[in-house]
Amino acid sequence: MLNGASFISKLLKICPLKNKNTVNSSIRHFRTSISNYHGEFEWQDPKSEDEVVRITVILKTGEKVPIKGKVGDNLLYLAHRYQVPMEGACEASLACTTCHVYVKSKHSETLPAATETEEDLLDMAPFLKENSRLGCQITLTKDLEGLELKEYEVIGRKLPTEKEKNTPLYKMRIFSPDPIVAKSRFWYFLRQLRKFKKTTGEIVSVRLIPEKTPVKIKNFGIWLRYDSRSGTHNMYREYRDLSVSGAVTACYRDMGARHRARAHAIQIIKVEQVKASDTRRPQVKQFHDSKIRFPLPKRIQHRSMNRFSVRKPRTYFL
Vertex 58 angle, CA 82 and 79, to 5°: 25
More confident residue, 251 or 97: 251
The pLDDT assigned to 78 comes to: 78
Contact, 265 vs 221, CB < 8 A?
no
H or E segment to which residue 19 belongs: helix 16-25
Sheet holding 266-273, edge to edge: 231-241, 218-228, 266-273
* CA–CA distance, 237 with 246 (Å, rounded to integer): 14
Paired strand residues for 227: 232
Q: Measured in whole angstroms, how far is the alpha carbon of residue 87 from the centre of its chain?
A: 25
**Mean per-residue pLDDT for 176-187?**
86
Average pLDDT of the chain to the nearest whole number: 78
pTM exceeds 0.75, yes or no: no
The arithmetic mean of pLDDT across residues 38-48, rounded, is 64
CA–CA separation, 113 vs 40, rounded Å?
A: 26
The CA distance from 122 to 112, in Å, is 16
Residues forming CATH 3.10.20.10 domain(s) in the chain: 150-208
Class of domain 41-145: alpha beta
- Among 1-15, 39-53, 210-224, which stretch is predicted with the lowest mean pLDDT? 1-15
* CB contact at 8 A, 224 and 181: no
Mind listing the pLDDT tens digit for each residue in 115-169?
Answer: 778 877 877 777 777 778 887 778 777 666 655 678 899 999 999 989 888 999 9
Reply yes or no on whether the pLDDT at 304 is more than 70: no
| Residue 254 pLDDT > 50 | yes
pLDDT of residue 19: 45
* Every domain range in the chain assigned CATH 3.10.20.30: 41-145
- What CATH number should be reported for the domain whose range is 150-208? 3.10.20.10
Mean pLDDT of 269-289: 91
